[in-house]
Amino acid sequence: MKTIYCISGLGADERAFSKLKINGYVLKVIRWLVPEPNETIEHYAFRMRATITEENPILMGLSFGGMICTEIAKQIPVEKIIIISSIKSSKELPLWMKTVAALKLNKIVPLKSTRLTQPIQNKMLGVQSEEEKTLVASLRRDVDLPYTNWAVHQAINWKNEWQQPNIYHIHGDKDNMFPIKNIKADYTIKDGGHFMIMNKADEVSNCINSILL
């Protein structure tokens, strides 16, 4: 079976893709690397693609992982990119992220999750069930803070305007992280939030299978 190379969202791991049901393909998750000092997103993508062994691969990225997929596609030929709850270019960044970047608030406000910030973060993610809250809490415990600081800075300051011709965008109309009003999606999931890859996995899977056909 052919491989789909997957890159999860910021701080997430292979569990983010665990509920997808993709016909005839193996999902191989590329694990996040520890960023080097002052590393650019372009160089980081260069190191991430070392895991890819197939020519003209299919890439699938969730949230920040979608941005990394685009950066990889600038460096090697790819068959297609599937992005979920993500953005294709800096034009799709929401105003609040652009404001944080312009004022460099991410450098001032600590990014470490606390009991006070977790409910806000859960709302932004669209976390619904107790199972999802438990999973997100586990991801928070496992995430590396220097990586988080680096990734947030790269995401809110992403300057990309290039778009891979064979890119397919799946997005939820209730995404609080990347509001749909800024997005030109190929597939829109009704009532889908930023965490829809988990709580609307069947619908997201159907979209992916349709793309692969």
Task: Give the chain's domains with CATH numbers.
Answer: 2-212 (3.40.50.1820)
Q: Could you tell me if 59 and 82 are in contact, meaning their C-beta atoms sit under 8 angstroms apart?
A: yes
For 68-105, letters b (16+ CB in 10 Å) and e give bbbbbbeeeebebbbbbbbbbebebbbeebeebbeeee
Instruction: Identify which of 48, 69, 51 has the alpha carbon closest to the alpha carbon of residue 60.
Output: 69
Give the pLDDT confidence score for residue 120 in this predicted structure: 64
Give the integer Cα–Cα distance in Å for 173 and 183.
Answer: 10
Give the pLDDT confidence score for residue 166 in this predicted structure: 94
Q: Which residues contact 63 (CB under 8 A, 6 or more apart)?
A: 8, 9, 10, 12, 84, 85, 86, 177, 178, 194
Give the pLDDT confidence score for residue 47 in this predicted structure: 97
Give the pLDDT confidence score for residue 126 in this predicted structure: 67
- Both tokens assigned to 213: 């056909």
- Both tokens assigned to 206: 């159907």
Give the pLDDT confidence score for residue 96 in this predicted structure: 86
Give the pLDDT confidence score for residue 121 in this predicted structure: 66
Give the pLDDT confidence score for residue 149 in this predicted structure: 87
pTM, two decimal places: 0.88
Residues in the chain: 213
Q: Could you tell me if 77 and 52 are in contact, meaning their C-beta atoms sit under 8 angstroms apart?
A: no
Q: At what angle do helices 64-73 and 41-48 cross, to 10 degrees?
A: 80
**Burial class (CB within 10 angstroms; exposed 0-12, middle 13-18, buried 19+) of 15:** middle
Per-position pLDDT tens, the chain of length 213: 899 999 998 877 888 999 999 999 999 999 999 999 999 999 999 999 999 999 999 999 999 999 999 999 999 999 999 999 999 999 999 998 999 899 888 776 555 555 655 666 666 666 767 777 676 767 666 667 788 889 999 999 999 999 889 999 999 999 999 999 999 999 999 999 998 999 999 999 999 999 998
> Where would I find the beta strands (DSSP E) of 30-179?
58-62, 80-84, 167-172
Give the pLDDT confidence score for residue 187 in this predicted structure: 98
Give the pLDDT confidence score for residue 27 in this predicted structure: 96
Does residue 162 sit in helix, strand or coil? Answer: coil
Backbone dihedral region of 48: left (phi > 0), alpha (psi from -120 to 50 degrees) or beta?
Answer: alpha
